[in-house]
Structure 1
């Protein structure tokens, strides 16, 4: 799962950088609320903790590497498919955004979510994988896993 998610997101990022970096390319509407754009994110989710120095860049990259190793070890000890799948999603997102930090020095975001004039968020598929994986882990921990443990 981690490799598939990584490849899909990196392919979309490669296309986005190639298409939008030349300058002058307008956003591509995907519907009423989504557009394809190119935004460089030197921080983490929602642009928090923006890093403008090399030390900050490498600090975030190092954190991503450590988190990825932790998630991978956790996945090797997983005892159920849902947990393993969700950890694979989180790992694919972490690896893809981590690759961006190492290669570009910042993360490539390309999906712009907006409602009317309200501009909410620009993200990438790696972010989607992380959110879906984390939500699945939470769901498994709070509801599904409890039922699994109670069964005879």
Structure 2
């Protein structure tokens, strides 16, 4: 088993563990330090604000009546399982994409832990630029965003395998 972990992308699970711990510690701090909707100003454009998200990104389906909790939990578990499969399949040398998968895995698990424990996701990072207020988010959301951005970057700049040269006379191959 140790050999599989060492040679595969599972070697990058340490990053997911660190991010899940960071996510859960910051959410615990938020719950312990701030009442619901209480806000603590850090800068004129940034606050710590204790918020609950019953939906998905940008509170999608947040007011759907409760069934969405189970849907989003199931989706996160399926996605997390698939990411672990991809990590196991990848070589440990594929650092960039393994890091991306580990970050997305961490974000999915961090938010699903909230859904299972509370029925909602704890958010607390609140940016208000005056002309635009970004929806409140958390460390798990940051991990998902960075991981997804890394995957997109990888898709544009990854070395493409060259196709095998086909014999010039055979067009049916």
Structure with higher strand content: 1
Give TM-score, length-normalised by structure 2.
0.77
Name the structure 2 match of 1:75. 87
C-alpha spacing 1:78/1:30, structure 2 compared with 1 (3 Å): farther
Correspondent of 2:48 among 15, 36, 40: 36
Alignment RMSD (CA, Å): 1.8
Matches within 5 A, 1:129-148: 129-143=143-157, 145-146=158-159
Give TM-score, length-normalised by structure 1.
0.87
What secondary structure is seen at the aligned counterpart in 2 of 1:57? helix
Is residue 133 of structure 2 the alignment partner of residue 119 of structure 1? yes
What secondary structure is seen at the aligned counterpart in 1 of 2:159? helix
Matches within 5 A, 1:49-88: 49-50=61-62, 52-79=64-91, 80-88=94-102
Deviation of 1:26 (Å): 4.5
Is residue 51–residue 57 contact of structure 1 (8 Å, CA) maintained in 2? no
Q: Stretches of 4+ moved more than 4 A in 1?
A: none
What secondary structure is seen at the aligned counterpart in 2 of 1:120? coil
Deviation of 1:138 (Å): 0.9
CA deviations over 1:95-123 (Å, ceiling 9, x no partner): 00000000010000000011025322200
Aligned residues: 146
Q: Give the greater-gyration-radius structure (CA).
A: 2
